[in-house]
Amino acid sequence: MSYRRIVSLLAAALFGALAAFPAAAQPKDKAILLLNWYVYSEHAPFFLGKERGYFDQEGIDLDIQEGRGSGVTVQAVAAGTANFGYADVPTMIKAAAKGAPVIAIGVALQTSAMSVMGFADKNIKTPADIKGKIVAVTPGDSMSQIWPLFLKKTNIGEGDFKQVAGDAQTKLNAVINGQADLLLGYVMDQAIKLQDATKKQVYPIRFADYGVNLVSSGIIVNKETLAKNPDMVKRFMRAATKSLEEAAKNPEAAIDAMLKANPKSGVKETALVGMKATAALYKGPDNPNDRPFRVGAKNMQESFMLLTEYGGLDKATAGKVEDYYTNTYLP
């Protein structure tokens, strides 16, 4: 056999070996996903995706970290201390309008889950019933930033009720112990925690039922990340999209994955209720047949208009809604 033939065979064998083991040839991108809050059922799809290897298959070594409010998550992504953030998109828009270099690359919850809630036995069922009551809020989280918009839309003045502030657990404790009548919360998060702790029925007054139907949680990135590593962003969103789809099909598996990674993040029975409630918010009103994260232009425009009309976003400097989101990196 000739020398040239031997070299050719060796080269072909080496190429075949590399093709057979692409994962070994390419080191994974380490990526931090900073959540909007302490782990609860809304976050279960990401743990399912990590457990099933969806992110590994896309060459991403994913580290999921708990957050302390969407405002804080937006700041972390803007500062570059987290590659990706799972945060309230309207909160991100308000930060981006003030110069934060962030953009939404996928909207998960396309109907708002925000509400003001209390125990059903207090008979607080309409915005008018909030007057004279005590409301617990967490400064800096997404709900506290959208809360003034809800008050304006329902003609409630800040002097019509008392407000107390505290972190996530303090807010829950205030309602549980009777120090507050209501708290700001998501229907699939704080409502579930209150029920788990007390076994009492909770009644949420949903923001969306009173004209505050903004898009909610989504994936955000620093614009510099898009410029430097767009391929990683696309791979991340492929894995994230598959994670949401599979969690919607098998919510029990998603909750099991979340509880395996974070045993204290919930009680399976009620967390499963929360996961199903979350999946119901994936479909947008103007694009119900699209895959998760792909938000409709009309939905985003209406959310943007609510922010400029009621949410403190300056019309003169806000620009246009397309400045704050893109579907380009979705599968």
pLDDT digits (tens, 9 = 90+) for 34-47: 999 999 999 999 99
Q: Look at residue 184 and tell me whether its pLDDT is greater than 90.
A: yes
Q: Helices marked H in 250-309 — which ranges?
A: 251-261, 268-279, 297-309
**Mean per-residue pLDDT of the chain:** 91
The three-state DSSP-derived secondary structure of 205-253 is EEHHHHCCCCCCEEEEEEHHHHHHCHHHHHHHHHHHHHHHHHHHHCHHH
Backbone angles phi, psi at 62, to 5 degrees: -90, 130
Rounded Cα–Cα distance for residues 250 and 99 (Å): 40
Q: Look at residue 7 and tell me whether its pLDDT is greater than 60.
A: no
Give CA angle at 324 (321, 325), nearest 5°: 95
Mean pLDDT, residues 137-158: 89
Q: Which residue has the higher pLDDT, 125 or 193?
A: 125
Give CA angle at 220 (266, 239), nearest 5°: 70
Measured from the Cβ of residue 305, the count of other Cβ atoms closer than 10 Å reads: 15
At residue 8 the predicted structure's pLDDT band, cuts being 50, 70 and 90, is: low
Tell me, what's the pLDDT at 71? 92
Rounded Cα–Cα distance for residues 43 and 240 (Å): 11
pLDDT digits (tens, 9 = 90+) for 64-92: 999 998 999 999 999 999 999 999 999 99
Tell me, what's the pLDDT at 38? 92
Distances (CA, A) of 26 to 19, 29, 56, 58: 11, 9, 12, 11
Q: Look at residue 17 and tell me whether its pLDDT is greater than 80.
A: no
Tell me, what's the pLDDT at 305? 92
Q: Look at residue 4 and tell me whether its pLDDT is greater than 60.
A: no
Q: Look at residue 27 and tell me whether its pLDDT is greater than 70.
A: yes
pLDDT digits (tens, 9 = 90+) for 191-244: 988 998 999 999 999 998 898 888 999 999 999 999 999 999 999 999 999 999
The whole model's pTM is what? 0.80
Q: Look at residue 168 and tell me whether its pLDDT is greater than 90.
A: no
Tell me, what's the pLDDT at 296? 94
Tell me, what's the pLDDT at 145? 80
Q: Which amino acid is at 262?
A: N
Evaluate the CA torsion angle 329, 90, 209, 249 in order and state its sign: positive
pLDDT digits (tens, 9 = 90+) for 248-270: 999 999 999 999 999 999 999 99
Mean pLDDT, residues 177-184: 97
Q: Taking the domains of the chain in order of start, what are their residue ranges?
A: 23-111+215-323, 114-210
**23-111+215-323 belongs to which CATH class?**
alpha beta
Please tell me if the domain spanning 23-111+215-323 has the same topology as the one spanning 114-210.
yes
At residue 18 the predicted structure's pLDDT band, cuts being 50, 70 and 90, is: very low
CATH of domain 114-210: 3.40.190.10
Rounded Cα–Cα distance for residues 312 and 288 (Å): 29
Tell me, what's the pLDDT at 23? 44
Q: Look at residue 108 and tell me whether its pLDDT is greater than 60.
A: yes
Rounded Cα–Cα distance for residues 166 and 174 (Å): 9
Q: Look at residue 312 and tell me whether its pLDDT is greater than 90.
A: no
